[in-house]
């Protein structure tokens, strides 16, 4: 097993651990994927059947990469038998096998975020609940959070604490919406993302024989990115592992960045409780980055209070300093980065794929796209609006979905009048009401409206009838037709091709091309793997909701990668531009009210820095367009947390040519003085220039603040203290602001003044 020789001591120990529970705490860049892959290879070489291994990853991309790497060692035939994928894809697979136990069809639809929100929205309307108070996103968040903690709709509505909480925040109807939502999904034969995990839990809980079956199958369990699992996922793992306890989890608490999605670091602590005789391995040597980058990252993360002690180090060379770049505006930032890539490419003979631009929010990509395009640099955006989420694509997919699962309400609503066939809102409302009253699906009502006491004029009835029979004609061919043949015909028969083909605007042409691209993709699917089986459209459709753009990589030419930091997790690049490092953007404005949120932002910053191998550029802009307004920005506090010895302040020449503002002059003078303090001197002039709002806002001493007081907050205005909690410096206050509602404030950070 010569492959094991490439490992260092702790890596080797972890990779050759065979039986019993184990946890690997792996610092950034310490080779955890390598350990996981080699461990799997080692298991197989030691007689473990690949069929008995399940390996859960965070993204499909990570899964595929690992699969390739394992196949390289043990051969593809063995490798393909390992169950490897995301929680969502693996458990949707199991749910399809076991669906009937839960009274679901095995071809259930997976609702993506759009479908879910659209359904919640209709429910809120139908129930006559105020949409202004019950914002769809917020309701979805509550329902999702409940599901991730395995709180069913019934539990939710009967749990006194939750009801109390919802009443206190003025939203007592969420339980009702949750109930209706679950019913509607069920009648539609649909599960949302959270259901895939929730229902797996139900399955394992209510059907002991199923649990035993999968416990027996998955004798060896591996979980990557364990710090980002939520309770629902945790419990699935725990149950599956209960029989053999051959469980291996790999994670890094410093890289936990998904708590907003219910991820819980607590799971790492639970691990020690659940498996007292577990073995722990710590990987602390970083192989990815230069000393400078590793130490800067250590600087940053040291500011977090809550973490498992570990010391990441590297024997790599010291490397370049981290460049700090200031631009006048968001557009200039784009130009700077594009120019810099252009130059580095030429000077160092690097291909495009060696570069990544990382940002906090998807909306920031625009200025970089424009600038890169102008220099003819090929780039690829990961995440954001994915191909499969585009309207035209979703519309065609909705026809496929509806053909495969006639009860899919969201699919039906999407296409029943697209292209326009004269079935409008009024008719649809009638149908919906009848479906609800009779606890059935829309489809059943359309099939025979009269059965449900509905009266329509004959023209409308004819329209229903022809829509119904068109869809049915597709449905009956699903099992006998080739995916591509059927898809192409559906695109034609439904009128989609004609509709889009007639639109000669640039957007229309692009939409048409997207449809063609989707059809091409299906063709590829049809032609793939010549094992003789018929490739069905329903098979193509199965996990389409779980696919993201990153899964459809085309490597025709090397491209610059643009993505959010969340999406960059697990990746590495020789050159990284970390952009938009401004207060209120990164850290996000919404994270400033609690220590936990701020620490998560800092971990995110840590993840971002540690993606870089050799060159790291930190960039911020002084002004930025937001909500259509030009706003002044100040540099992110995180930049200050890096010791100045690791930073380099670039010369003026890298800034795009344009009339300098007066403060630009100031910056040059300042840096030429060569003043060196322990902090970053170049940040200070900007700080002074902050124009909004003048910060003579003095906070009062936190210890004085008490329940009942009227206070003034710098951003939220006047408010009343409802409760306080803890002692300073960690004293928190719940304050009600008429303008923004209830807020939890950590008084150390919040700018609050006592009014009376």
Partner DNA sequence: TGCCCGGGTGTTTTT
Partner DNA sequence: CACCCGGGCA
- Beta carbon of residue 59, minimum distance to DNA (angstroms, whole number): 5
Bridge partners (DSSP) of residue 713 are: 717, 752
- Is 72 a binding residue for DNA by CB under 7 A? The answer is no
Residue of the chain from 132, 305, 657, 688 that contacts DNA (CB under 7 A): 132
DSSP string, 718-746: EEEEEEEES-TTS-EEEEEETTTEEEEEE
Q: Considering only the stretches 55-63, 291-299, 470-478, 747-755, report the one whose residues sit in contact with DNA under the rule CB under 7 A.
A: 55-63
CB 745 within 8 A of CB 732: yes
List the x/- string, 682-711, binding to DNA by CB under 7 A. ------------------------------
Instruction: Say whether residue 588 binds DNA (CB under 7 A).
Output: yes
- DSSP 3-state of 238: helix
- Least spacing, CB of residue 77 vs DNA, in Å: 27
Give the Å distances, CA to CA, from 424 to 127, 428, 441, 442, 447.
21, 6, 18, 14, 17
Preceding peptide of 419 cis, ω within 30°: yes
Rank residues 219 and 463 by Cβ distance to DNA and give the closer one. 463
463-485 core/surface letters (b: 16 or more CB in 10 A; e: else): bbeebeebbeebeebbeebbbbe
Longest dimension (CA), the chain: 86
Q: Which residue from 270, 307, 361, 432 is in contact with DNA, where contact means CB under 7 A?
A: 361
Contact 540, 525 (CB under 8 A): yes
Q: Is residue 653 near DNA by the rule CB under 7 A?
A: no
| Local structure of 326: helix, strand or coil | strand
Residue 748 CB, shortest distance to DNA, in Å, is 19
| Binding-site member from 11, 37, 55, 59 for DNA (CB under 7 A) | 59
Please give the Cα distance from 639 to 678 (Å, whole number): 13
| Site membership for DNA, residue 127 (CB under 7 A) | no
Q: How far is the CB of 316 from DNA (least distance, A)?
A: 29
Taking CB under 7 A as the binding criterion, the range among 87-95, 244-252, 575-583, 732-740 that sits at the site for DNA is 87-95
Q: Which one, 17 or 743, has the nearer CB to DNA? A: 743
CA gap 575, 513 in Å, rounded: 33
Does 55 interact with DNA (rule: CB under 7 A)? no
- H or E stretch including 711? strand 710-713
Choices 130-138, 310-318, 332-340, 470-478; region in contact with DNA by CB under 7 A:
130-138
Give 280's strand partners. Answer: 23
The count of other CB atoms within 10 Å of the CB of residue 695 is 10
Does residue 420 bind DNA (CB under 7 A)? yes
Stretch of residues binding DNA (CB under 7 A), selected from 437-445, 517-525, 564-572, 616-624? 564-572
Compute the least distance from the CB of residue 141 to DNA, in Å: 8
Taking residues 367 to 386 in sequence order and writing x for each that binds DNA by CB under 7 A, - otherwise, the string is: ----------------x---
Distance CA 31, CA 224 (A): 12
If binding is defined by CB under 7 A, does position 134 make contact with DNA? no
In degrees and rounded to multiples of 5, residue 267 shows phi and psi of -60, -30
Q: CB of 104 within 8 A of CB of 73?
A: no
Within 549-640, residue ranges assigned H as helices are 565-568, 595-609, 637-640
Binding segment for DNA among 127-135, 209-217, 399-407, 666-674 (CB under 7 A)? 127-135
Tell me the window of 252-260, 335-343, 407-415, 442-450 that interacts with DNA (CB under 7 A): 252-260
Q: Convert residues 88-117 into a mask of x (bound to DNA by CB under 7 A) and - (unbound).
A: xx----------------------xx----
Is 546 among the residues that bind DNA (CB under 7 A)? yes
Closest to 478 (Cα-Cα) out of 564, 397, 401: 401
423 binds DNA (CB under 7 A): yes
Backbone CA torsion sign across 586, 590, 594, 596: negative
Which string of x and - marks every residue 176-205 that binds DNA (by CB under 7 A)? -----------------xx-----------
Interface with DNA includes 293 (CB under 7 A)? no
Is there binding between residue 425 and DNA (CB under 7 A)? yes
Residue selected from 74, 94, 371, 567 as contacting DNA according to rule CB under 7 A: 567
Regarding 86 and contact with DNA (CB under 7 A), the answer is yes
- Candidate list 75, 172, 424, 502; residue touching DNA; CB under 7 A: 424
Cis omega (within 30 of 0) for bond into 729: yes
Instruction: Decide: is 121 part of the binding site for DNA (CB under 7 A).
Output: yes
Q: Which residues pair with 230 in a beta bridge?
A: 263
Q: What CA–CA distances, in Å, run from 400 to 395, 404, 546?
A: 9, 6, 16
Applying CB under 7 A, which part among 26-34, 258-266, 290-298, 611-619 lies near DNA?
258-266
Joined tokens for residue 526: 């049809």
| Residue whose CB is less far from DNA, 157 or 428 | 428
Active-site residues: which are they? 32-33, 224-225, 255, 611
What are the structure tokens assigned to 64, written together?
């595929």
> Per-residue x/- marks for DNA, 448-467, CB under 7 A?
------------x-------
Q: How many CA atoms lie within 13 A of 721 on its CB side?
A: 25
Q: Does 657 bind DNA (CB under 7 A)?
A: no
Two tokens, residue 542: 């199965």
Cα 91 from Cα 193, distance rounded (Å): 11
Question: In this chain, which of 131, 164, 306, 524 binds DNA, going by CB under 7 A?
Answer: 131
Tally Cβ neighbours within 10 Å of residue 393.
19
User: Does residue 552 belong to the site contacting DNA (CB under 7 A)?
Assistant: no
Separation between Cα atoms, residue 630 and residue 330, nearest integer Å: 10
- Contacting range for DNA; rule: CB under 7 A; set: 265-273, 324-332, 339-347, 418-426: 418-426
User: Binding string to DNA for residues 321 to 350, with x set by CB under 7 A, is what?
Assistant: ------------------------------
From CA 412, how far away is CA 475, in angstroms rounded? 14
Given 349, 376, 426, 677, the residue binding DNA (CB under 7 A): 426
387 binds DNA (CB under 7 A): no
Binding of DNA by 67 (CB under 7 A)? no
- β strands within 213-361, DSSP E: 220-223, 247-251, 279-283, 322-329, 355-359
Among 352, 417, 475, 538, which residue sits at the site for DNA (rule: CB under 7 A)?
Answer: 417
* Selected binder of DNA within 363, 375, 509, 534 (CB under 7 A): 363
- Say if CB 226 and CB 264 are below 8 A apart: no
Within 14-53, which residues bind DNA (CB under 7 A)? Answer: none
Q: Which of residues 604-643 bind DNA (CB under 7 A)?
A: 625-628
DSSP code, position 254:
G
Place of tokens 């960039």: 619
CA angle 301, 599, 61 (to 5 degrees): 80
Among 8, 339, 432, 548, binds DNA (CB under 7 A): 548
Residue with tokens 């120990």: 13
Out of 109, 406, 564, 622, the residue judged to bind DNA by CB under 7 A: 564
Residue-wise DSSP of 15-48: HT--SS-EEEEE-TTS-HHHHHHHHHHHHHHTT-
Q: With CB under 7 A as the contact rule, which of the stretches 57-65, 432-440, 650-658, 729-737 interacts with DNA?
A: 57-65
# residues contacting DNA (CB under 7 A) = 51
Positions touching DNA (CB under 7 A) are 58-60, 86-89, 112-113, 121, 125, 131-132, 135, 137, 193-194, 257-258, 260-261, 360-363, 383, 417, 420-427, 460, 546, 548, 550, 563-564, 566-567, 588, 590-591, 597, 625-628
């Amino acid at each position: 097993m010569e492959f094991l020789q490439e490992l260092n001591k702790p890596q080797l120990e972890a990779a050759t651990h065979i039986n019993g529970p184990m946890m690997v705490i792996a610092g950034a860049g310490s080779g955890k994927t390598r350990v996981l892959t080699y461990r799997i290879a080692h298991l197989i070489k030691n007689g473990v059947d690949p069929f008995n291994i399940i390996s859960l990853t965070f993204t499909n991309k990570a899964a595929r990469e690992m699969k390739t790497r394992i196949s390289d060692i043990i051969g593809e035939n063995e490798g393909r038998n390992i169950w490897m994928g995301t929680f969502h894809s693996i458990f949707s697979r199991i749910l399809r096998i076991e669906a009937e136990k839960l009274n679901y069809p095995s071809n259930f639809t997976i609702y993506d975020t759009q479908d879910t929100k659209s359904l919640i929205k209709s429910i809120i309307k139908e129930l006559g609940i105020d949409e202004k108070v019950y914002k769809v996103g917020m309701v979805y968040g509550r329902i999702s959070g409940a599901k991730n903690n395995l709180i069913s709709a019934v539990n939710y509505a009967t749990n006194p604490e939750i009801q109390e909480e919802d009443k206190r925040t003025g939203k007592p109807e969420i339980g009702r919406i949750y109930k209706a939502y679950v019913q509607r999904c069920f009648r539609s034969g649909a599960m949302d993302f959270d259901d895939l995990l929730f229902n797996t839990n139900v399955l394992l809980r209510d059907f002991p024989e199923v649990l035993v079956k999968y416990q027996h199958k998955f004798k060896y369990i591996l979980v990557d990115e364990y710090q980002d699992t939520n309770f629902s996922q945790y419990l699935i793992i725990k149950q599956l592992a209960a029989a053999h306890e051959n469980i291996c989890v790999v994670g890094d608490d410093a890289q936990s960045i998904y708590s907003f999605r219910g991820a819980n670091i607590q799971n790492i602590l639970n691990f020690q409780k659940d498996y007292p005789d577990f073995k722990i391995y710590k990987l602390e040597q970083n192989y990815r980055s230069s000393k400078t980058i590793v130490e800067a990252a250590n600087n940053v993360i040291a500011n977090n209070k809550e973490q498992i002690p570990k010391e990441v180090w590297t024997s790599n060379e010291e490397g370049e300093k981290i460049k700090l770049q200031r631009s006048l505006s968001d557009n200039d930032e784009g130009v700077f980065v594009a120019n810099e890539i252009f130059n580095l490419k030429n000077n160092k003979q690097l291909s495009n794929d060696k570069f990544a631009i990382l940002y906090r929010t998807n909306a920031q990509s625009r200025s970089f796209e424009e600038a890169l395009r102008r220099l003819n640099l090929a780039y690829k955006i990961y995440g954001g609006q994915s191909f499969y989420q585009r309207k035209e694509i979703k519309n065609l997919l909705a026809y496929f979905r509806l053909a495969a699962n006639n009860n899919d309400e969201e699919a039906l609503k999407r296409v029943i009048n697209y292209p326009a066939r004269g079935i409008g809102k009024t008719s649809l409302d009638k149908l919906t009401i009848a479906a609800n009253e009779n606890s059935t699906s829309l489809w059943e009502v359309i099939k025979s409206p009269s059965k449900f006491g509905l009266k329509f004029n004959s023209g409308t009835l004819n329209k229903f009838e022809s829509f119904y029979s068109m869809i049915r004609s597709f449905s009956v061919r699903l099992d006998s037709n080739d995916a591509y043949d059927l898809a192409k015909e559906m695109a034609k028969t439904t009128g989609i091709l004609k509709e889009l083909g007639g639109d000669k605007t640039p957007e229309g042409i692009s939409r048409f091309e997207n449809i063609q691209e989707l059809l091409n993709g299906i063709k590829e699917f049809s032609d793939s793997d010549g094992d003789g089986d018929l490739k069905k459209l329903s098979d193509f459709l199965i996990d389409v909701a779980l696919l993201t753009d990153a899964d459809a990589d085309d490597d025709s030419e090397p491209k610059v990668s643009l993505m959010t930091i969340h999406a960059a997790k697990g990746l590495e690049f020789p050159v990284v531009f970390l952009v938009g490092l401004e207060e209120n953007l990164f850290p996000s404005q919404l994270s400033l009210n609690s220590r936990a949120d701020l620490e998560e932002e800092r971990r995110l910053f840590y993840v971002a820095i540690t993606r870089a191998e050799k060159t790291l550029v930190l960039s911020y802009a002084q002004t930025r367009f937001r909500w259509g307004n030009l706003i002044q920005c100040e540099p992110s506090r995180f930049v200050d947390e890096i010791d100045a010895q690791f930073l380099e302040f670039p010369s003026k020449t890298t800034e795009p040519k344009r009339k300098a503002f007066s403060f630009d002059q100031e910056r040059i003078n300042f840096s030429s003085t060569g003043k060196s303090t322990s902090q970053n001197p170049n940040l200070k002039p900007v700080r002074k220039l902050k124009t909004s709002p003048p910060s003579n806002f003095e906070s009062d001493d936190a210890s004085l603040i008490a329940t009942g007081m009227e206070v003034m907050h710098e951003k939220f205005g006047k408010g009343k203290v409802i409760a306080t909690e803890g002692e300073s410096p960690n004293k928190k206050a719940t304050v009600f602001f008429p303008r923004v509602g209830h807020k939890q404030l950590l008084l150390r950070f919040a700018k609050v003044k006592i009014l009376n």
